[in-house]
Amino acid sequence: MEDFAFSNTSQQQITTCIDDLYMWLVVEVMKKGKVHKRTKKQANWTNWVKRWCVLTPQYLRYYGTDAKVSTRVPKKAESNQKGEFTFTKNTKLESLEGYSGVMKNFQGRFRLANVPVLEMEIAVDDENEKRAWLSDLKEIIQCLRDNTTPVQKLLKERHLKSMAARENKDGLNKQVEDIESALIKTKLRAERQSKKQVFDDTSTKVVKPLTTEKPKTKIQPKRPSLEKESEEKIKAMFMKIDANGNGLLDKNEFANFLKGLGLNMSEKESNLIFKSVDTNKSEQITFEQFKNYFCLYIMDETETAECVNAMRKAFLEADRDGSGTLNFREFTEFVWEKNRSARMTKILKSFANITTDEISFNDFEKLVSGSGAEVLVPILEEEIEQGTDSSLDDFEGRLQKVYKDTEADELATYIRQRWDKFATFRRAGQTGSVVMTGGHGMVADIVPGEYSLIDLACFSDLPPLVPKHAVVKDTQWLSSTISGKSGKIIFPLEYDKQVPIEQATSELLRYYGCSFADSQQEKISLLFRHGIQDFTYENGYLEKYVTATNGGAGVEKHDFSHLDCPLSEDSGFFILAKFMDNGEFHITAFRLPVRHTLYVPGGVIHCNDYLKGTWRTMLSDETDIDHVHLTHVVEEGQEEKFRFQFT
């Protein structure tokens, strides 16, 4: 393929070649042929039937035998497809002995099974044909387990061999890893020639300072990070574009904004920029998407606007049918027209990691900085060097000017106007007196998008809630030096043994570093193996076991985490405590609502001596427990054990 010359090849031959390559690389047809098959139904096997089978990494599809006249895979709507077998990581493949029956005799036979869903036997004419089928089927199942495909595996192996040969030859790895490093010399050349015109108030050319320093490390994509003032300015811009005030930008609003910038863009160009911002393809732009785009392409000075614009121009030119995506043929024909020196194997390698039939502009960007760099970068270099003016070139510059002209306090003005009916809200009672009013201003303006509930519900302008708690000074925690034995915690003479009771809420539990676990809970890291078990605390647990058998009530801490969920209404009290920086010891007795699961991280001081009923608990036996008995000073030099009283 590498030595194949296309210069003397007809358009029809090139089209046929591309079709065949498409079938192999995209549809990934690995094998086609006539076989005999039978299927197991309710413990009985069907009769042998002749079928035309097409094998891909996902399916074995079988058709009526007249389908074989086509050189391509028949579409289901136009063929007599009889069924398909779907491969999974758990698909079983078994080689069988030849089949000999009254009417049928086969030399090669094997079995495919997705137990208990489907079992199928396939027979071919001879052992050689059987070995060929088994080889491809084994590779498919192994690739599924490795989360790849046979074609991707082959291209990767060829790529590794090519890289190894290149390194042996000159000791250099010339693969382009990032678009910035690939185009830096072209960017400097373009800047030196001052071909990039920046839109500003005076319409004069601005020549950026040149630097010949090469980046010392690979530039990694940045996560957008903004100061509050910058974010408010971007949001104020967003609100200006959002004509109907619903917190989302549609294509018409975005196109009108581009016209307002003085950009005479075609619908195709406008849609391409819109899709660049609309990363989830919802046909609407959220504020979060707008902000992310602004940070990456407008405010991030390490990002080259020339590169982005060159990619947009190339993508628009390659998109022959104006669909907003590129298929395999459009991509191949575009690269071949622009870069005749590119070998076909390099063009094919560009698609090694593409798993869909159509690629978006975001996919195209990834190709430029990844597997498609060798064939696409020369095209983009030429595009930048030509320095042709277009609306796409001016977009970033004009957007940045709008940002500079926007004041942060414009957002506050907009929000006041947007929510004025709430701020001026009044309700009067029967006598005319005001019984309900709106606040002096909106606490927050929430635009459509995806949020963490904790970010919405934990209001940063409010002080944290503090649960009722006992404050004990001069408390001493004395851990035992013998494994399995309890130490003691010594309370001073003036402590009255009283602990206040609180109804547990997430805000109050947070005081002790705990929380309720729910579907919105962030992920946690467990350092040890844990088990979850139901434990029932019978009547008399505190008196008959804790006090009489276990040496008295206490508190404990350990490195493993707890989950504690009461399964009955009367569940007793769960004790949480902590030492403060000033040496004070704070204690609270919490009542937990039924079926609310308390998460207690490792290291938190707690106690379950006062629980009742059945609790579902997660715990571990892989670390020691630092348990201490409650000890009270009754007089100078004398101590006695006690248990908490609740108020």
The answer to whether the beta carbons of residues 508 and 468 sit under 8 Å apart is: no
Check residues 468 and 67 and name the one with the higher pLDDT.
468
Check residues 299 and 426 and name the one with the higher pLDDT.
426
Q: Is residue 66 very low, low, confident or very high in pLDDT (cuts 50, 70, 90)?
A: low
192 pLDDT exceeds 60? no
Least confident of 82-86, 140-144, 267-271, 513-517: 267-271
Give me the amino acid identity at 98.
G
Check residues 502 and 99 and name the one with the higher pLDDT.
502
Q: What sign does the CA torsion over 342, 348, 349, 353 have?
A: positive
Q: What phi-psi label fits residue 261: left (phi over 0), alpha (psi between -120 and 50 degrees) or beta?
A: alpha
| Per-residue confidence (pLDDT) for residue 225, from 0 to 100 | 46
Give the span between the Cα atoms of 598 and 610, in whole angstroms: 16
Reading the block at residue 425, the tokens are: 């809200």
Average pLDDT over residues 483-494: 91
Q: What is the largest CA-CA distance in the chain?
A: 107
Least confident of 27-31, 132-136, 299-303, 333-337: 299-303
Q: Give me the domains of the chain, ranges plus CATH numbers.
A: 29-148 (2.30.29.30), 470-646 (2.60.120)
Reading the block at residue 27, the tokens are: 């549809």
Nearest partner of 364 among 305, 302, 316, judged by Cα = 316
450 to each of 287, 433, 454, 564, how far by Cα in Å? 10, 41, 12, 30
Average pLDDT over residues 382-407: 69
Give the span between the Cα atoms of 642 and 552, in whole angstroms: 7
Give the span between the Cα atoms of 371 and 177, in whole angstroms: 9
| Per-residue confidence (pLDDT) for residue 241, from 0 to 100 | 86
358 pLDDT exceeds 90? no
| Per-residue confidence (pLDDT) for residue 574, from 0 to 100 | 97
pLDDT (tens digit per residue) in 206-265: 333 333 343 433 333 444 445 667 778 888 888 888 888 888 889 888 888 888 877 777
Q: Is residue 76 very low, low, confident or very high in pLDDT (cuts 50, 70, 90)?
A: very low
- Name residue, tokens 């290291």: 603
- Name residue, tokens 């209001």: 459
Average pLDDT over residues 478-484: 88
Cross-strand bridge partners of residue 35 = 51
Give the span between the Cα atoms of 552 and 317, in whole angstroms: 81
Cross-strand bridge partners of residue 498 = 645
Q: Which residues contact 492 (CB under 8 A, 6 or more apart)?
A: 472, 473, 474, 475, 633
586 to each of 476, 516, 577, 582, how far by Cα in Å? 13, 20, 5, 11
Least confident of 188-192, 291-295, 305-309, 581-585: 188-192
548 pLDDT exceeds 50? yes
Average pLDDT over residues 531-540: 94
| Per-residue confidence (pLDDT) for residue 187, from 0 to 100 | 45
Give me the amino acid identity at 618.
M
Average pLDDT over residues 543-550: 92
Reading the block at residue 483, the tokens are: 């494994």
Q: Is residue 461 very low, low, confident or very high in pLDDT (cuts 50, 70, 90)?
A: confident
| Per-residue confidence (pLDDT) for residue 172, from 0 to 100 | 43
598 to each of 74, 509, 601, how far by Cα in Å? 58, 9, 10
- Name residue, tokens 């606490």: 443
Reading the block at residue 199, the tokens are: 């839109």
DSSP-derived 3-state class of residue 512: helix
621 pLDDT exceeds 60? yes
| Per-residue confidence (pLDDT) for residue 454, from 0 to 100 | 67
Give the span between the Cα atoms of 187 and 384, in whole angstroms: 7
Radius of gyration of the CA atoms of the chain, in A: 35
Check residues 623 and 189 and name the one with the higher pLDDT.
623
pLDDT over 70, % of the chain: 72
pLDDT over 90, % of the chain: 22
54 pLDDT exceeds 60? yes
End-to-end CA distance of the chain: 85
Nearest partner of 307 among 421, 408, 219, 428, judged by Cα = 219
| Per-residue confidence (pLDDT) for residue 391, from 0 to 100 | 55
